[in-house]
Amino acid sequence: MFKFIYFFMIVVAGTGGELCVSRAMKQTGEVKDFRPAAVVRVLLRALRIKWMWLGVGLMTMAFFSLLAVLSFEKVSFVVPVTALSYVAGALGGMFLLGERISLSRWTGIALVCVGVTLVFLGKG
């Protein structure tokens, strides 16, 4: 049961966090200057957006769940299973960020899900 909760946290809080961060970065604007000082300025600008803080909070929860799971499961099992966030990510991208997802992109995401299922079944 604990395992399920941990995986749920990794997938849902992790994806939710990434969506919030993505929204904040879209608000920050496209990064065109990659000099360290400019990158730091962009990150500081991003920190003024509340979505960034919400995202970082959710991702922190997902991170500690990942740490907990890694203490009793193999890395080669845990990491592929967390790819279940692909469906959540695509839906979130579509409904929360207004991204359009083409048929071919859906096909790719579906293949990723099939792959994750095989990884799960190949546990041993």
How near is the Cβ of 80 to other proteins at its closest, in Å? 5
Question: Which residues contact residue 11 at a Cβ distance below 8 angstroms, ignoring those fewer than 6 apart?
Answer: 82, 84, 85, 88
56, burial (CB in 10 Å: exposed 0-12, middle 13-18, buried 19+)? middle
Q: Which residue has the tokens 């499961």?
A: 73
How near is the Cβ of 27 to other proteins at its closest, in Å? 9
Tokens of residue 115, six digits: 């792959």
Closer residue to other proteins in complex, CB, 48/107: 107
How near is the Cβ of 23 to other proteins at its closest, in Å? 9
| Residues in contact with other proteins by the rule CB under 8 A | 18-19, 21-22, 25-26, 28-31, 34, 39, 42-43, 46, 59, 63, 66-68, 70-72, 74-80, 83, 85-86, 89-90, 92-94, 97-102, 104-105, 107-124
